[in-house]
């Protein structure tokens, strides 16, 4: 099995574990996926993550825009590489998350595939039928309402309303205020009780313990 890792950094012969803020895995690891297109979508030039994608029942990657031209905004003129590694390496193990593999030790690279413009490569993969792009202007009103609710919840769960000296958090706050002003205003006006109820209902829907 081949596994892939996407990053802005090029010309790497050996991938090394690292830790990032907001990563679902707190310890330093290298993350891998068996899906080339998912690795492709992880090549971005932001200090934060604010994109949504998943795999459907047919193994196709589905990317959903949260505002008009989000795909272009995040990926145009961004370059990087997708690194192919041996998935049978015993140092690479599966996680509890579907399609996510990690290693806590350095892993040699078998092949590097350079991507000179991620946006162009995504459009190519869309044309080939490997990626489905759900563009914002094509979404239903219900879809847009769900994105609004998700954004309000994310603002609170990521504590963006609390001033921070951390530069990436400041950059994320500016991004959200610019692209989701109504969600930001709604989040700002919510009481502590309303926030707790919102998060509690979300956890209950996912069957997550408090």
pLDDT of residue 3: 97
End-to-end CA, the chain: 37
Prediction pTM value: 0.88
Give pLDDT tens digits for 91-146: 999 998 888 999 999 999 999 999 999 999 999 999 999 999 999 999 999 999 99
Q: What whole-number distance in Å separates Cα of residue 25 and Cα of residue 80? A: 23
Q: What whole-number distance in Å separates Cα of residue 6 and Cα of residue 33? A: 9
pLDDT of residue 47: 80
pLDDT of residue 72: 96
Within the chain, which residues score under 70 in pLDDT? 19-26, 207-210
Q: Per residue, what are the HEC states of 33-70?
A: ECCHHHHHHCCCCCCCCCCEEEECCCCCEEEECCCCCH
**Domain boundaries in the chain?**
2-138, 141-206
Backbone angle region of 77, left / alpha / beta, with phi > 0 → left and psi within -120 to 50 → alpha: left
pLDDT of residue 208: 56
* Entry field: residues in the chain: 210
pLDDT of residue 167: 87
Q: What whole-number distance in Å separates Cα of residue 7 and Cα of residue 82? A: 7
């Amino acid at each position: 099995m081949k596994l892939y890792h996407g990053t802005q950094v090029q010309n790497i012969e050996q991938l090394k574990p690292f830790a990032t803020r907001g990563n679902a895995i707190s310890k330093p690891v290298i993350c891998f996926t068996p899906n080339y297109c998912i690795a492709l979508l992880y090549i971005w030039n932001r200090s934060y993550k604010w994109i949504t994608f998943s795999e459907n029942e047919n193994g196709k990657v589905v990317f959903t825009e949260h505002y008009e031209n989000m795909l272009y905004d995040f990926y145009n003129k961004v370059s990087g590489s997708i690194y192919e590694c041996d998935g049978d390496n015993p140092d690479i193990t599966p996680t509890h998350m579907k399609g996510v593999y990690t290693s806590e030790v350095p892993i040699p690279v078998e092949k590097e595939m350079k991507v000179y413009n991620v946006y162009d490569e995504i459009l190519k993969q869309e044309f080939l039928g490997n990626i489905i792009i759900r563009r914002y202007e094509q979404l239903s009103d219900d879809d847009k309402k769900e994105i609004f609710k998700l954004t309000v919840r994310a603002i609170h769960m990521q504590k963006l309303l609390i001033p921070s000296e951390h530069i990436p958090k400041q950059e994320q706050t500016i991004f959200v205020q610019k692209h989701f002003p109504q969600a930001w205003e709604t989040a700002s006006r919510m009481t502590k009780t309303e926030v707790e109820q919102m998060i509690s209902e979300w956890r209950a829907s996912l069957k997550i313990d408090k």
